[in-house]
Structure 1
Amino acid sequence: MTTPTPPALLIAGHGTRDDAGAEAFRDFVRRLGRRRPDLAVAGGFIELSPPPLGEAVTELVERGVRRFAAVPLMLVSAGHAKGDIPAALAREKARHPGISYTYGRPLGPHPALLRVLERRLEEALAGTGEDRSDVTVLLVGRGSTDPDANAEVFKAARLLWEGRGLANVETAFVSLAAPDVPSGLHRCARLGARRIVVLPYFLFTGVLPDRVKQQARDWAAAHPGLDVRTADVIGPEPELLDLVLERYEEAVEGDLRMNCDACVYRIALPGFEDKVGLPQQPHFHPDDDGHHGHGHGHSHGHHHHGEHSHSHAH
């Protein structure tokens, strides 16, 4: 009896102007392929970097793939995961009649990633002793115009603080949301922090993680009485590889559990009431290299056979 071919795995990335960051993504896709040689694996970006997501889908189709599961390689579900990727996948389905796909959920916060963040924290503190009771962490996320996405970073910060003996874990953002990195560091100092570790909540290196490090260095130089260190990004750790494959299995099995409870396109959150059922206004990321606009129309529907159901008007 022939074993049925499993659906392929499509990795959807954000994209960056940073060549090293883009190559880190492409290398991660190759590592996934080596980890699961039984799967056809491809990856592409929504913007800024080659290859585009559509090219990755075409590559799979040319390899004979008719079914795939798409996993967003993103820590939180913001506009790209909620809108751009589903819209891009819908376009590819129209371009390639006969293919079908399921759409997985973003990666975090997840205990496996928290373990990697703790490892990055330990690396930054190397040689400073075992006591962490006077260490304050500033977890720095990308930042979004989506309050649900920003709240997920705060959730990750709280989960990182629980049970680890740290003085505190504060949260900041490098783009589009407050508090910014200097404000976050100032808050840490006002709360009495003497040792601070700035912990970038990013998967790979890039323009924004580099900006986090530079802003932390600048702030530290202006506050010489404090011990301020900056940790590394998460990187292509085994935990990350395993988590992506876990999200793949969820999508294949239809166990998606999308977080729609605090989605501005579905729920009237204070200050965001105008977004419910209406197209999101085009915007660009002013802190990114490469401006771009989006027009999303989001209306959440029921999940059908494992597909994340949105309607989009671009």
Structure 2
Amino acid sequence: MEAVLYICHGSRVPKASEEARFFIEKCMSRLSEKVFYQECCFLELAEPSIEDAFTRCVEKGATKISALPILLLTAGHAKSDIPEELIKMKKKYPHITIQYGRPIGVHPQMIDIVEERIKDSQVQISENSSILLVGRGASDPEVQRDFSELANLLSKKTNLSVDICYLAACEPSFEEGLRLAGQREENQIFVVPYLLFTGILMKTMEKKIKTINKEMNKEFILCNYLGYHQILQDVIVSRVHEVIDNTVFSKEILDVPHHA
């Protein structure tokens, strides 16, 4: 029997974990005819853990478990942290076949969500507008490259200038991104958090946007985070099909160090 294990990041903010669970349940309902058993779990900061959810899959009779990281980009969590946990499970249950899928990554449909979040601000976009796309950040060059690619896709679709910055781990920082965006000739800057869920980072951004709007003769509009959008459901379902159908985009977890 085959099971699918959805691995979310987890958050200290209860609302964020609740949003993730509700979203995954919707994805599960769309795959219920194809997949016999499905579980949602978290890498950290929330329950159930990967080990607990994996064990439930085994107890239900799964002989093959397809694990899918519900992450925006291929950073350390997707490359190392999650595979390490799955390797532990492989050692504990050597008879179980584990297939590991890929994160959301650079997907054209994600740009549609960003565009919708800008429109949700109910502020009219004009030729005097630009966009500041804000990522969580990672030291991994692949993450930075992919984020730049997303910004380029967004710029082409909106025909607006798009700057990028990060909340941690790499440059430019959020503060520096605001400053640089403020130096542009455009007077209206849409600040879009490229984040899946609400949390401490959003609250920090809100405070800084309020401050800079008082300090500069520019209008910074903080848009909503991506959230678990209907379009994201489509992307996740396609990623599940990739891994359960054992395409070239999935990899088998063995009891040796593995990187996705």
TM-score by length of 1: 0.76
Aligned CA distance change for structure 1 residues 12 and 154 (closer, same or farther; 3 Å)? same
1:192 aligns with 2:209: no
Aligned AA (2:145): A
Aligned AA (2:246): G
Q: Give the Cα–Cα distance (whole angstroms) in 2 for the partners of residues 127 and 229 of structure 1.
A: 8
Q: Give the Cα–Cα distance (whole angstroms) in 2 for the partners of residues 9 and 233 of structure 1.
A: 27
Deviation at 1:256, TM superposition (A): 4.0
Structure 1 stretches lacking a partner, 5+ long: 258-302
What is the aligned partner in structure 1 of residue 199 from structure 2?
A: 206
Q: Give the Cα–Cα distance (whole angstroms) in 1 for the partners of residues 147 and 101 of structure 2.
A: 19
Aligned AA (1:65): A
Segments of 4+ moved more than 4 angstroms: none
Bigger drift between 203-212 and 110-119 goes to: 203-212
Structure 2 stretches lacking a partner, 5+ long: none
**What secondary structure does 1:163 align onto?**
helix
1:37 aligns with 2:32: yes
Q: Among 208, 216, 222, which residue is 1:215 paired with?
A: 208
Equivalent residue runs for 1:29-68 within 5 Å: 29-38=24-33, 39=35, 40-68=37-65
Q: Among 235, 241, 247, which residue is 2:239 paired with?
A: 247
What is the aligned partner in structure 1 of residue 145 from structure 2?
A: 151
Deviation at 1:312, TM superposition (A): 5.6
What is the aligned partner in structure 2 of residue 27 from structure 1?
A: 22
Q: Among 97, 102, 126, which residue is 2:99 paired with?
A: 102
Contact 1:105 1:256 in 2 (8 A): no
Deviation at 1:217, TM superposition (A): 2.5
Aligned AA (1:62): E
What is the aligned partner in structure 2 of residue 307 from structure 1?
A: 252
What is the aligned residue count? 256
Give the structure, 1 or 2, with the largest relative contact order (CA under 8 Å, sep 6 or more). 2
Q: Give the Cα–Cα distance (whole angstroms) in 2 for the partners of residues 205 and 256 of structure 1.
A: 33
Deviation at 1:161, TM superposition (A): 0.7
Q: Give the Cα–Cα distance (whole angstroms) in 1 for the partners of residues 47 and 109 of structure 2.
A: 28
Q: Give the Cα–Cα distance (whole angstroms) in 2 for the partners of residues 18 and 157 of structure 1.
A: 28
How many percent of aligned residue pairs carry the same amino acid?
29
Deviation at 1:253, TM superposition (A): 2.9
What is the aligned partner in structure 2 of residue 132 from structure 1?
A: 126
Contact 1:181 1:216 in 2 (8 A): no
Equivalent residue runs for 1:255-274 within 5 Å: 255-257=247-249
CA RMSD in angstroms comes to: 2.0
What is the aligned partner in structure 2 of residue 161 from structure 1?
A: 155
1:90 aligns with 2:90: no
TM-score by length of 2: 0.91
Aligned CA distance change for structure 1 residues 197 and 11 (closer, same or farther; 3 Å)? same
What is the aligned partner in structure 2 of residue 284 from structure 1?
A: none
Bigger drift between 97-106 and 114-123 goes to: 97-106
Q: Give the Cα–Cα distance (whole angstroms) in 1 for the partners of residues 199 and 132 of structure 2.
A: 19
Equivalent residue runs for 1:279-294 within 5 Å: none
Q: Give the Cα–Cα distance (whole angstroms) in 1 for the partners of residues 85 and 48 of structure 2.
A: 14
Aligned CA distance change for structure 1 residues 147 and 212 (closer, same or farther; 3 Å)? farther
Q: Give the Cα–Cα distance (whole angstroms) in 2 for the partners of residues 209 and 154 of structure 1.
A: 21
Q: Give the Cα–Cα distance (whole angstroms) in 2 for the partners of residues 104 and 312 of structure 1.
A: 13
Q: Which has the higher helix share?
A: 2
What is the aligned partner in structure 2 of residue 228 from structure 1?
A: 220
**What secondary structure does 2:98 align onto?**
strand
What is the aligned partner in structure 2 of residue 183 from structure 1?
A: 176
Q: Give the Cα–Cα distance (whole angstroms) in 1 for the partners of residues 206 and 140 of structure 2.
A: 24
**What secondary structure does 1:162 align onto?**
helix
Contact 1:139 1:169 in 2 (8 A): yes
Q: Give the Cα–Cα distance (whole angstroms) in 1 for the partners of residues 184 and 248 of structure 2.
A: 39
